Structure 1
């Protein structure tokens, strides 16, 4: 990249960092960038990831977004995107996600893969992904955009860590050989039992294994292959649901079990606002 292009990428990263630090949504970053390519979006995301790691956060996996054809069409793209998962972003199954750390969150149900082997070879295919998968579990992903009003294009969401925020892993570990992933049926309900979202494994690129294969090939091409032990959120099985503070959400996936989370403020109002860690760009 030229010096002016680098400046645009750094300016976009700074804008997103400020939004995360202040918990005030920002303007889209696409106007700061030299172009709207995936490579430019990932250049911003890489700066944010490095800044987070320098502040002590640990990457433990990846998340895949835009696996729905309808959403791809809406954003005018023909491929998914991905972000990183941080260890401190995991919420225990049945636990509380702190609303104080979220801006404008939504929740979606997914199938999470836990890898037992690296996916770094040249001959990656569906069977390679299956052999490398230790097990799968049901998951909830809390997505959140640092960009006001979710006014995002493809490059905006890629830059913003694919709109990632928090995640929950539930159910029991299930070997791939024991489940037909495309045939998995998902229902998400709120605390009152109202149905909020419904879908199947086939709604994730036809088969969540194909989503993980896409990710494995993409990350290998970028020089950051998937490694044993990583958690991979393979993509939404149904429509995202807007979250309200104080709400609770449970997704039940046939053959895999259920996973749930509550979203509540966790800061004592008398103690003042939540303290948000300041993260700066790496130098």
Structure 2
């Protein structure tokens, strides 16, 4: 069985891969594998829904000796409501991020104001998960990229109208589990401003002829260090933006 077949089977709930399995010898090759994986996964009407951006802070980059962010594709089954069964996941984490909902195609030459005009912003939760065993923080960058930047699930809250660049640069977030505060964070952790992350993504996708299209969702980067996902009720408050919740059973 080929590497891509193994990874595809793992994405579909089959056996996960051992950390010793690595095929891509460079990030470029890893993104090529990711593209092939997405083509295989979307053959069964599980269409491309958007992208997630990883390693958008120095702290998370240092975990993997990275010098820039990574991106991974989100398929339609990646976007869920506010309920999740823990047993359906492998080794999930939780992150809190702003979700950019694309209203108009974003091009690599678009500046920050263009991106704000072409998107709506919503509070969000990301559940990274991998098709590799014992993955965090032990995988190589190439393995992470090949595995769709460990894309798991995302929860998208209600979008907020008319947020400015300055507001997006100064958002505090608080995370509770069963009403107990477990984490705080700030939007400046995401490349200084989450809009910069979206701009970076548009420029990276352009290198392979891809674009951020209307209807897509972009999970733009975590405000906090990832934590292990546990059973219970999570509530995330984004100051000036709104709240989003997740019930994990």
TM-score by length of 2: 0.92
* 1:58-77 superposed matches below 5 A: 58-77=47-66
- Of 3, 22, 38, 1:12 maps to 3
For 1:56, the equivalent position in structure 2 comes to 45
For 1:235, the equivalent position in structure 2 comes to 221
The offset of 1:29, in angstroms, is 6.1
The offset of 1:30, in angstroms, is 5.5
The offset of 1:91, in angstroms, is 1.7
The runs of at least 4 consecutive aligned structure 1 residues that moved more than 4 Å come to: none
- 5+ residue gaps in structure 2? none
- Of 201, 221, 230, 2:187 maps to 201
CA distance 1:215–1:30, change in 2 (3 Å): farther
CA distance 1:210–1:178, change in 2 (3 Å): closer
The offset of 1:118, in angstroms, is 1.1
Greater helix percent: which structure?
1
TM-score by length of 1: 0.82
Residue 141 (structure 2) pairs with residue 154 (structure 1): yes
Q: 2: CA distance between counterparts of 1:100 and 1:58?
A: 24
For 2:29, the equivalent position in structure 1 comes to 40
The offset of 1:176, in angstroms, is 2.5
Which has the higher Rg, Structure 1 or Structure 2? Answer: 1
Contact 1:23–1:103 (8 Å) recurs in 2: no
Contact 2:19–2:134 (8 Å) recurs in 1: no
CA distance 1:100–1:144, change in 2 (3 Å): same
Q: RMSD in angstroms over aligned alpha carbons?
A: 1.9
Q: 2: CA distance between counterparts of 1:179 and 1:74?
A: 29
- 5+ residue gaps in structure 1? 1-9, 265-283
Residue 126 (structure 2) pairs with residue 141 (structure 1): yes
CA distance 1:261–1:42, change in 2 (3 Å): same
